Chains A and B, each alone.
Chain A
Amino acid sequence: MHKFDLTMEHITKVEGNASLRLKVENGKVIDVKFAIDEYKRFFTEAMKGKAVAAIPQHLARICGTCSNAHVMCAIEACENALGIEPSAQTKLLRALTMHGLIIRDHALHLYLFSLPDIYGVDAFLDLDENIPEYHQILHDGFDTKSAGNYLATLIAGRSVHANYPVIGGYLHFPDGAGIEEAIAKLKSIRPAVLRLIDIFRNAPFHFDRKTKYMALVPDGNFGYTGGTIITSKNESYGRDKFREHLEHVVLPYSQASAYIYQGEDYMVGSLARVNLAKDKLHPHTKESAKDTLALFPSTDIFHNNLAQAIEILHSVDESIDVLTANEFKPEPVIKVEFKEATGIGVIEAPRGTLYHKVVIGADGIVKEGEVVVPTGQNQINIERDIGTLVNGLLLKPEFAEDNDETKAKIAHEIEMLIRAYDPCMSCATHFLKVEWIKVS
């Protein structure tokens, strides 16, 4: 009967640092602690005393890969406080900024972090270019990332810490040549994205678990900004509630804040979005991924990766439409008039619902703020699923031997499950260094 402590430090292929401590006695998991180990950088405390105009760029620095989502969310919170209604063109540019982010960020996760598990290699670059299938995948991966990066740069200035979007509008507007090139790049990667969907649809990993799902669902097409927070229990919340529906949980061993909903764990992210709003996806996406979409709503956590691939396709199709149907002309940034107010921003970041709250004084100086990130909301779910996963593995004959090989296999299975959630520990992909300690 297995009896051991498992300490996994430095989870790899996640954004930032996470660790895991797992205790097994009499062949069963009796304790799991999934801890986010990034040292606190106190971004919300540092909001105090800053000019409101500085807040979007300040909060972008919470996370590199999700930075443009933080920029969008912070702008929304500040505009909500100051009573600014963005122009129709600004809304389109913000939607495109999010599509660029979704394509780039999901492609990074799916190709560089998750796909090596499917092909049994350690790193994406370990795939042998001389094998035609792998040659295709390598080019698909970097071409898809590149198209997302191009779109984000064209629209938002940079794919990391975007510098064109500001409170009240944009500082720069895409030109005709750039738009034409973006459309060509997006059209060229569509076959690659369809291949990616097939790869993750046929992936051999599954972990079925019932949980609640929550996402911000737009009133119109599937997207990442605007709308209402919806749950899989058919409840809905306006953004004015901020996080009143969420209960903050302190995990003393983790640097991150965790959350539960109505006393239970819940999940945010691509799986939640596609489960709750697949009918709103772009018609071309629905047509091209018809058979795959029949798998949703899904309770298979590994389908979070599949949902991410579907979202890439949607963002490609949606962006092509928006770029083709619109002309973008320079327009002035809406002037800010300061007033004492509280504002809330809620958007769907690549990994799930992101909340920003900002309290501003009459002088335009921020008094306080609050940020709730997706990985904090999924943290308890991840922790409980690891326990369930390991309990299941310990019952299997191939995991019966209490030796180093078994432990390595268990650690790998845990890492794959964590990657399926795509956590972001800066707000998450580094692999786990595993230290096994037997309980005597």
Chain B
Amino acid sequence: MIRFNQMDTTSTETKVYPKIKLGWFSFSCCEDNTVVMTEVMNDHWQEWKKIFDFRHVRVMKSKNIMDEFDVAFIEGAMAGPEQEEQVKKIRSISKKLVAVGACAVTGLPSGQRNNFTAEQKESIDFLITRFGALPSVKKVSDVVTVDVEIPGCPMSPKMFLEKVNALVAELRSSQ
């Protein structure tokens, strides 16, 4: 099991780190990665409570703060113009931006309408217009720079922990 250390014990001096500010955002998707994250939490919640500041995680809390993030996780594809604007805003206030899951990394399957036949596209056009959706669904890297990608539908819990562990180590090396 991968563990995160709250304190650096390799040094003769004990260093206490500030909490890492996390954001978790879901766009157009089935939110399977959110479910996987909450299941990974079953084994890690006690350490996570100590080292993470869950600053903006709408699935877990109401009083979310949108000011700055050490790591922002983006799940889902961009299907509407306001989603594009929001992910740009998140990028501008995040040190690291992580795309999680297939829809964020590849745009699919949420963006399956991009691959529809002309006839199929014609049949759904009125809905695209009615709700002001983008003409084509975009993956996250089509809109902003992505630092880390965690693919999968859903993401693998093991890979998620490995990537998070690496990010924690990287962020702490600069603290």
Residue numbers of A with Cβ under 8 A of B are: 10, 12-13, 15-16, 38-43, 45-46, 48, 58, 61-65, 67, 104, 108, 112-113, 116, 122-126, 129, 138, 142-143, 145-146, 149, 158-161, 252, 255, 415, 426-427, 429-432
Contacts and interface: CB of A to CB of B under 8 A. Distances in A.
B131 A39 contact: yes
A98 B43 CA distance: 23
B31 A146 contact: no
Contact of A16 (B31, B62, B109, B153): B31
B124 interface: yes
- 7 closest A-B pairs by CB: A64-B32, A39-B79, A123-B61, A146-B42, A431-B62, A64-B30, A430-B58
Contacts of A145: 38-39, 42
Contacts of B72: none
Contacts of B123: 45
A64 B133 contact: no
A220 B89 CA distance: 54
Given A125-B49, A142-B41, A61 B61 contact: no
Given A41-B109, A41-B112, A64-B32, A123 B39 contact: no
Interface in B50-68: 54, 58-64
Contacts of B61: 12-13, 116, 122-123, 126, 431
B113 interface: yes
27 contacts: A12-B58, A13-B60, A15-B31, A39-B28, A40-B131, A41-B79, A41-B113, A43-B112, A45-B116, A45-B123, A45-B124, A46-B116, A48-B120, A58-B109, A61-B30, A64-B154, A67-B30, A104-B39, A116-B61, A122-B61, A122-B62, A124-B60, A142-B45, A146-B43, A149-B39, A149-B42, A431-B62
Contact of A64 (B34, B109, B130, B131): B34
Contacts of A124: 60
A415 B62 contact: yes
B58 A160 contact: no
Contacts of A126: 61
B109 A61 contact: yes
B56 to A, nearest CB: 10
A63 B80 CA distance: 19
A125 B45 contact: yes
Contacts of B41: 142
Given A16-B31, A61-B153, 7 more contacts: A38-B28, A65-B31, A67-B32, A104-B39, A159-B39, A161-B154, A426-B31
